[in-house]
Structure 1
């Protein structure tokens, strides 16, 4: 599958964002017009991925088949859109899978595009981005945004277009309905016990959120839209959700006695099986955050993915902002990082065609060069291992989980021997590129071990299959015995990447 290229988009280009949620799969297609996005198509299918998730992290064959069939249909819609203009993200249910790749492999084949698994906090950032662009706020206005999905709930406080606080909870409309109302039975006793348990999750961050405060509260996603429609149909509000209206809706749900018997004005048949869990989570949020009123937004995660995609490859790429923030936080030597980056990219340009590496690969190598020494803030001994751990396990804005693991693998493999485990989390479709980029980063780091500004004279790199020939000026290298010793021992370590390195001196 081709990697996404980077670079500015042009007017007329189509972009597509796919949200593989725990309840529904969504796709939105938009056209870039004068730097803005104009939506031209939307598709939605109820898949209910969370229904198929078992306690061991497996996915039922029935739900998996349902998901793949949906992705195949979505893939037909976006078949003519270039890969760099498409982004698909998977959320809580895929995050919870014991072996995500067992699902992602067939899913990517069905869709015809890569699928990024994003963390809960990254999901929160993208949700806020979507709301902020669809309903532009005042610069000094703070907003609370709540997104109740099928398997998780995201809560964000932001000012303008910038999220200030992000939290993700393991509660959602599908998961909560399954867990707390097993067998479809609805009783007040069950409801109150469930409400207490869900409220405890909100209490983890409720106090600092209330202390920070907000000027406006907004709900997004299908759950909020459904509850807003019910409130309007019952003439409780004009579409907003208030504490009083929510209590009326809750009581009507409990009066039904069973989920299949819920009968509320404005409630679709599609939403009925999961509305109880959604109302439960929202009531817990109202109580914990002391809410009185919530506006409902039409925007959601998919809109955020679109606007994020619009900014990628340009000055607003959130990944580059995050890299700069990490460098500052961990005290990275920026001058050394720049030296390593310059040499790594020079080597890249010489072998890119032979190794079929694209612009996105070049951007990844650049970011890895900037971050390869972040582990030094923890300890010099094994700093490459420390750095890899930080990159894999941190919440880094703009990156998918696969993207973070890719960076972590490059940092882990940039020095010393390369363990087999370094690339075990990399999808098969990315493995060759990961090994090749790691080889380029290793050479660049070795060549700048002295941390000086000089660049090697007559440096040339040739690639043929898994063979690399590094050609250098002999007299220049003889004047640097430490570097020569490093380079002479490097071919043995490079075998850990499956690459045969040869040093040629002219």
Structure 2
């Protein structure tokens, strides 16, 4: 290359996830075959809170979503359509007026939005973990979202078991913790419901098997942070530690009074239902602890950072290098 000629600028890609609780955008570029995350935006939209008994999104929820997309559109100015992937997940799958939301979104952000199936969401989450985690061997990947929970077993970029269940920390909050009330009965009902939704998968978990379980959601990260603040410095999540968290949780009467060490303000309203689902997952999957995942490239939500991009045909990024572990 001539000395006065600049190297071509690496192409940038954007992945946008329209989740039930939050909208996320990740911007990345691929340099020498390695994916580099260069920016993130996250906004709590509480889309699932806007679903009524007929699965119709309220005008208020739609407005919150469009406002967030408008913010994202500002950052995406100049991006080619082929470099942007926007996916809608559980709440938009369920919304009877999803078509109206999509039509209005076209006026706000000039990129197509694809509403993906639960299984496709699970597959993308798994691929994101494979791209960003150094752990080898067969993995169980768990993602507890606002409206659905995804579970995948696979290895070497090949999912072997891909499942999505209609249960999330927002939907369970509405059903089992009305008014934000915390008590033993509410929690047991939520945990039992999670077990019932997963029990048909229990034998498949055992047949497939895995060597490491990885959590890829805010619920699991929140549980880890509370455990660390309570003195469990390795941050591993085990059945015994989950029961310890449940015992501590039940000391509080409602979401507003919840003040567990290490629990952020924004997680208070979804921690109890998320914990109930996590307990159900542990019981049905039969695993003894959630294993380490790396920092850095190992982001907080795998589908945001490794799933939808780069587009098909573009050189795929290398697997992340091992780093200091942090347990989920």
TM-score, with structure 1 as normaliser = 0.58
1:201-240 matches, cutoff 5 A: 201-240=197-236
| Closer/same/farther in 2, CA of residues 89 and 133 from structure 1, 3 Å limit | same
Which of 1, 15, 18 does residue 17 from structure 1 map onto? 15
1:349-360 matches, cutoff 5 A: none
Instruction: Answer whether contact 1:185 1:257 (CA < 8 A) is retained.
Output: yes
Return 5+ residue gaps in structure 2 as ranges: 1-7, 317-328
Matched, 1:281 2:310: no
d(CA) in 2 for partners of 1:28, 1:193: 36
d(CA) in 1 for partners of 2:262, 2:57: 32
CA displacement at 1:296 relative to structure 2: 5.9
TM-score, with structure 2 as normaliser = 0.88
The equivalent of 1:384 in structure 2 is none
User: What per-residue deviation string (whole Å, max 9, x for no partner) do you get for residues 456-475 of structure 1?
Assistant: xxxxxxxxxxxxxxxxxxxx
Which of 139, 144, 161 does residue 143 from structure 1 map onto? 139
The equivalent of 1:294 in structure 2 is 290
User: What per-residue deviation string (whole Å, max 9, x for no partner) do you get for residues 462-503 of structure 1?
Assistant: xxxxxxxxxxxxxxxxxxxxxxxxxxxxxxxxxxxxxxxxxx
User: What per-residue deviation string (whole Å, max 9, x for no partner) do you get for residues 351-387 of structure 1?
Assistant: xxxxxxxxxxxxxxxxxxxxxxxxxxxxxxxxxxxxx
* RMSD of aligned residue pairs (Cα, Å): 1.6
1:125-140 matches, cutoff 5 A: 125-138=123-136
Matched, 1:257 2:259: no
d(CA) in 1 for partners of 2:93, 2:257: 32
Instruction: Answer whether contact 1:17 1:27 (CA < 8 A) is retained.
Output: yes
CA displacement at 1:315 relative to structure 2: 8.6
Instruction: Answer whether contact 1:88 1:115 (CA < 8 A) is retained.
Output: yes
The equivalent of 1:312 in structure 2 is 312
CA displacement at 1:237 relative to structure 2: 4.0
The equivalent of 2:154 in structure 1 is 158
CA displacement at 1:313 relative to structure 2: 3.5
CA displacement at 1:314 relative to structure 2: 5.2
Instruction: Answer whether contact 1:228 1:296 (CA < 8 A) is retained.
Output: no
User: What per-residue deviation string (whole Å, max 9, x for no partner) do you get for residues 91-148 of structure 1?
Assistant: 000000113111111123222211110100000000000011110343xx11100100
Write 1 or 2 for the structure with the bigger share of helix: 1
Q: Secondary structure at the match of 1:270?
A: helix
1:35-46 matches, cutoff 5 A: 35-46=33-44
| Closer/same/farther in 2, CA of residues 235 and 106 from structure 1, 3 Å limit | same
Which of 78, 81, 88 does residue 80 from structure 1 map onto? 78
d(CA) in 2 for partners of 1:279, 1:227: 8
Instruction: Answer whether contact 2:73 2:109 (CA < 8 A) is retained.
Output: yes
| Closer/same/farther in 2, CA of residues 292 and 302 from structure 1, 3 Å limit | same
d(CA) in 2 for partners of 1:199, 1:282: 10
Instruction: Answer whether contact 1:237 1:245 (CA < 8 A) is retained.
Output: no
Bigger relative CO (Cα 8 Å, ≥ 6 apart): 2
User: What per-residue deviation string (whole Å, max 9, x for no partner) do you get for residues 390-426 of structure 1?
Assistant: xxxxxxxxxxxxxxxxxxxxxxxxxxxxxxxxxxxxx
The equivalent of 1:426 in structure 2 is none
Aligned length: 303
CA displacement at 1:260 relative to structure 2: 1.2
d(CA) in 1 for partners of 2:288, 2:106: 43
| Closer/same/farther in 2, CA of residues 235 and 108 from structure 1, 3 Å limit | farther
d(CA) in 2 for partners of 1:48, 1:206: 31
The equivalent of 1:267 in structure 2 is 263
1:364-403 matches, cutoff 5 A: none
Return 5+ residue gaps in structure 1 as ranges: 1-9, 317-506
Instruction: Answer whether contact 2:190 2:273 (CA < 8 A) is retained.
Output: no
Q: Secondary structure at the match of 1:246?
A: helix
Q: Secondary structure at the match of 1:238?
A: coil
Which of 24, 30, 33 does residue 32 from structure 1 map onto? 30
